[in-house]
Structure 1
Amino acid sequence: MKTDFSPTQLADPDIAEADKILRKCVHCGFCTATCPTYVLLGDELDSPRGRIYLIKEMLEKGQKPTQEVVKHIDRCLSCLACMTTCPSGVNYMHLVDQARVKIEKEYVRPLPERLLRDVLAFVLPRPALFRLSMTAARLARPLAALLPSTRKQASPNLLSRVKAMLTMAPAKLPPAGPAGGSVFPAIGPRRARVALLQGCAQQVLAPRINDAAIRLLTRHGVEVVLVRDEQCCGALTHHLGRDDDATARAKANIGVWLGEADRGGLDAILVTASGCGTVIKDYGYMLREDAEFAAPAAKVSSLAKDISEYVNALDLPIPDKQSNLVVAYHSACSLQHGQKITQAPKELLSKTGFVVKDIPESHLCCGSAGTYNLLQPDIASRLRDRKVANIASVKPDVIAAGNIGCMVQIAGGTDVPVVHTIELLDWATGGPRPGLN
């Protein structure tokens, strides 16, 4: 793609990076076939190729984002399926992230939407506040029936978004998990020492996921530490275009993780929520222009591993007999497209005795995408229903996924139990049976 940035514009490192990304695009359109919003809506501007044109025009001309541009960028899930499909290596992730930052800084959204985004950006990264909000949402859940449907809206409004939030509130919350600063010694000789990301929403909605990871790791000789003063990884605010908040959280985490590494040593930083893992692995890029943090950020990114990626190297024992439990494996977008981890979770499940079934259209997003299912409830619901129908076609006993957002999203459309991959692996290697009804 030909670009026309001025020398002054190219002096900005972000614009220079956008220029490199744009020049790789050859207009082939392969990305449209795997883009969830294009598949659903059939609008070229709701495809990666269409959004690339919009972003190029906006950046080249130095224009403020228009309502039309914002609409189509907001509809992007950042599922990154386009990057898996692209034959030219276009880094759409970094380009759309840059567009979101520009929109956040220069576009004035309607007041109700601004307030909603402010609330999400403030509450979701803070587990204590998120727990309180979930309790309030559970009490207000009966009001959801009185609010307008989220379906077939030209543009989602505040009430439809509130309805989506209330509908997704769980019937009850589990007790809180272990606090930051906790250390879980290896059982037997210690083979390694790792930090386990505590997460934000996950530690409120499903602390059982990290409990399963801790059990499995310690049984196999890995000491696990929950690092004190760890913050949200920054993914939630990063995808809202609030880069200052996201980079501040990244810097805080880099400090506490490398501090822990200096004190006791760390062989890896493990993540059980793949959306967080994709962003942590990108810290090196996010802070590449920061003289103080560029090298530490790159080190942290190199230490970050998805739990399945790490456990795959542990050589788990093969059970004496098969469980014959049919598992539909949902490959989270952030895992298959963001981190390029596609086979390890399925191989681990098969090795430990489960019958693993691939889901048709597995490359398409379930519609969760961080806060997407709250901000774009119509598209998110349609994608969820499509995903659930594809899952039902393989007649599973249980659904396994590697990301809490996907788990909550899919569970909202099916009665089939949804668990994290690590819960099944923990059970197969000596842990308790997860809740499978």
Structure 2
Amino acid sequence: MPAAEKTTPNASPALDFKNPPDQKVIDACVHCGFCLATCPSYRVLGKETDSPRGRIYLMNELNQGEIPLSPSTVEHFDSCLGCLACATACPAGVDYGELIAATRSQIERNHPRPWVEKLFRQLLFSTFPYPRRLRWLLGPLALYQRTGLQSLLRRSDLLEKLLPQPLVAMESLAPEVTADAFTDPWPEVIPAQGETRYRVGMILGCVQRVFLPEVNAATIRVLTANGCEVIIPKSQGCCGALSQHQGQEEQAQDLARQMMDAFANEKLDAVLINASGCGHTLKEYGQILAEDADYCERAQAFANQVQDVQEFLDSVGLTTPLSPLQAEPLSVVYQDACHMLHGQKIQEQPRRLLKQIPGLELREPADAALCCGSAGIYNILQPEVGDELGRQKVRNLCNTKATVIASANVGCNMQLRKHLALQQQEVPILHPMQLLDFSIRSVALSDGVSGHDLEQ
């Protein structure tokens, strides 16, 4: 049966009755302040109202009808990255992720944003979760890059003069368009190499399949080399993570249903994902569709099957031999994506996999648990805070003097590439699946090459 909607004891003029922030969860906060040091927005902005504790105070006041859902109130919820570091640090076990998700849904239903901001958000939510629509933009983007116009405009200050800040931020994150970005070349069933140990479904993602297709290619090769038959339904779309994280509740639910329907007729040992933000949302389908009588039980069963690909491979074990990636020891720094570390509590599994590569030396950065500033589309909607966090993250990663950065989330990868370029650092960023793939295929890494170069 679907779960009952939560309601506040008294009607609030600011919020509606559909799943307001749960007062019991709010009351569990003991206001100790342990969350402050872990909160990236508080570190940058330095305001109590831009911290988890401050936002919980605001949620309580909204629930009690003591303050309106005004622009000055909403800006403090918009400043939250949703990284969940505060939940990891909280000694009282407050589920801040549940609170911010409920609050953002309320904001989207009950707060009229300025028309320019509303239009820009609609552009993002009508484009990014739909791979076909994203691919319509690839031709103009490729032309913009190939003609040298991108380089020319980036060297000048014309973009900053002509475009609003969010559009400038979006342009700055655009990766190089490759030929592989225009199609998904894989059949629906890819057989295992040798004996079939497992039959797994694979989710391609929306932004990743378009802008980092080499990561999916490497993941498929690693899985098949380790005895997995890989199932890739053609009808799959976006998992809904982007929409869910920004309070677009109905869109997230629709995308979740479509994703489940795409895999409905497959008997699988696991459904695998190689992007951490997507994985966290996929594992929450039971909550996202809890009030849907037709899907709630199926949603929880589907969520129970979802695993990050690193989590899965660490559990079942690698069976294929691994080769050194270069003659000398290779130093790699692993970057923890927030929704992997704080959302899914996956920390050691990727490191254990990477350490199995002969000659690989794993290094750890300072402030490893601090968000890089990507957070879905946060670095587009809140570019000043996103940029500061990106600068800090890249500085900490480069201070390890590692030869390669390993990062398992598409948003993080795009953010890090931008800030590496801004700091004139030429350290390649590779998904752990790419490193395993190169090791399996005995592909040697060369200094100064990118993930796209290595894939060729």
TM-score normalised by the chain length of structure 2: 0.87
In the alignment, what sits opposite 2:47?
43
Structure 1 Cα separation of the partners of residues 439 and 46 of structure 2: 43
After superposition, the Cα gap between the structure-2 partners of 1:429 and 1:314, relative to the gap in structure 1 and judged at 3 Å, is farther
In the alignment, what sits opposite 2:205?
199
Structure 2 gap ranges (5+): 1-6, 421-425, 450-456
Of the three residues 383, 389, 393, the one matched with 2:389 is 383
1:275–1:335 contact (8 Å) kept in structure 2: yes
Of the three residues 344, 355, 377, the one matched with 2:349 is 344
Q: Specify the SS of the correspondent of 2:406.
A: strand
Report the Cα offset of residue 8 of structure 1.
6.7
Question: % of aligned pairs identical?
Answer: 37
Equivalent residue runs for 1:284-363 within 5 Å: 284-316=286-318, 319=322, 323=326, 324-353=329-358, 354-363=360-369
Q: What RMSD over aligned residues (CA atoms) do the two structures have, in Å?
A: 2.4
In the alignment, what sits opposite 1:153?
none
1:397–1:416 contact (8 Å) kept in structure 2: yes
Q: Is 1:424 the equivalent of 2:435?
A: yes
Q: Specify the SS of the correspondent of 2:333.
A: strand
1:104–1:242 contact (8 Å) kept in structure 2: yes
Structure 1 Cα separation of the partners of residues 364 and 278 of structure 2: 24
Q: Is 1:99 the equivalent of 2:120?
A: no
2:131–2:210 contact (8 Å) kept in structure 1: yes
In the alignment, what sits opposite 1:368?
374
In the alignment, what sits opposite 2:251?
245
Q: Is 1:159 the equivalent of 2:164?
A: yes
Structure 2 Cα separation of the partners of residues 382 and 97 of structure 1: 24
1:278–1:334 contact (8 Å) kept in structure 2: yes
After superposition, the Cα gap between the structure-2 partners of 1:51 and 1:180, relative to the gap in structure 1 and judged at 3 Å, is farther
Structure 2 Cα separation of the partners of residues 64 and 134 of structure 1: 42
Q: Deviations over 1:314-334 (max 9, x none)?
A: 322564768511101000001
Paired letter, 2:301: K
Structure 1 Cα separation of the partners of residues 121 and 239 of structure 2: 18
1:424–1:434 contact (8 Å) kept in structure 2: no
1:21–1:95 contact (8 Å) kept in structure 2: yes
In the alignment, what sits opposite 1:6?
9
Structure 2 Cα separation of the partners of residues 11 and 65 of structure 1: 11
Structure 2 Cα separation of the partners of residues 218 and 180 of structure 1: 13
Structure 1 Cα separation of the partners of residues 283 and 158 of structure 2: 40
Q: Specify the SS of the correspondent of 2:315.
A: coil
Q: Specify the SS of the correspondent of 1:116.
A: helix
Equivalent residue runs for 1:49-64 within 5 Å: 49-61=53-65, 64=68
In the alignment, what sits opposite 1:132?
136
2:184–2:209 contact (8 Å) kept in structure 1: no
TM-score normalised by the chain length of structure 1: 0.91
Report the Cα offset of residue 382 of structure 1.
0.5
Q: Specify the SS of the correspondent of 2:316.
A: coil
Q: Specify the SS of the correspondent of 2:368.
A: coil
Structure 1 Cα separation of the partners of residues 218 and 68 of structure 2: 47
**Higher mean C-alpha displacement, 299-308 vs 314-323:** 314-323
**Higher mean C-alpha displacement, 249-258 vs 111-120:** 249-258
Of the three residues 395, 404, 409, the one matched with 2:410 is 404
1:64–1:107 contact (8 Å) kept in structure 2: no
Paired letter, 2:362: V
Structure 1 Cα separation of the partners of residues 370 and 352 of structure 2: 21
Report the Cα offset of residue 12 of structure 1.
5.3
**Higher mean C-alpha displacement, 164-173 vs 268-277:** 164-173
Q: Specify the SS of the correspondent of 1:413.
A: helix
Report the Cα offset of residue 175 of structure 1.
1.4
2:131–2:237 contact (8 Å) kept in structure 1: no
Of the three residues 12, 18, 25, the one matched with 2:22 is 18
In the alignment, what sits opposite 1:154?
none
**Higher mean C-alpha displacement, 424-433 vs 76-85:** 424-433
1:179–1:226 contact (8 Å) kept in structure 2: no
Structure 1 Cα separation of the partners of residues 110 and 68 of structure 2: 6
Equivalent residue runs for 1:42-121 within 5 Å: 42-61=46-65, 64-121=68-125
Structure 2 Cα separation of the partners of residues 424 and 314 of structure 1: 18
After superposition, the Cα gap between the structure-2 partners of 1:245 and 1:13, relative to the gap in structure 1 and judged at 3 Å, is closer
Structure 2 Cα separation of the partners of residues 422 and 322 of structure 1: 13
1:174–1:206 contact (8 Å) kept in structure 2: no
Structure 2 Cα separation of the partners of residues 425 and 53 of structure 1: 46
**Higher mean C-alpha displacement, 18-27 vs 171-180:** 171-180
In the alignment, what sits opposite 1:169?
174
Structure 2 Cα separation of the partners of residues 40 and 149 of structure 1: 22
After superposition, the Cα gap between the structure-2 partners of 1:289 and 1:180, relative to the gap in structure 1 and judged at 3 Å, is farther
2:10–2:64 contact (8 Å) kept in structure 1: no
After superposition, the Cα gap between the structure-2 partners of 1:160 and 1:169, relative to the gap in structure 1 and judged at 3 Å, is same
After superposition, the Cα gap between the structure-2 partners of 1:369 and 1:134, relative to the gap in structure 1 and judged at 3 Å, is farther
Paired letter, 1:426: D
**Higher mean C-alpha displacement, 427-436 vs 161-170:** 427-436
Q: Deviations over 1:222-278 (max 9, x none)?
A: 00011121120011111221100100110111122122x2xxx11111001110000
Report the Cα offset of residue 283 of structure 1.
0.5
Equivalent residue runs for 1:199-218 within 5 Å: 199-218=205-224
Q: Specify the SS of the correspondent of 2:196.
A: coil
Of the three residues 31, 35, 38, the one matched with 2:35 is 31
In the alignment, what sits opposite 2:4?
none
Paired letter, 1:279: T
Structure 1 Cα separation of the partners of residues 364 and 337 of structure 2: 13
In the alignment, what sits opposite 2:3?
none
Structure 1 Cα separation of the partners of residues 401 and 214 of structure 2: 25
Structure 2 Cα separation of the partners of residues 401 and 57 of structure 1: 39
Of the three residues 157, 176, 199, the one matched with 1:146 is 157
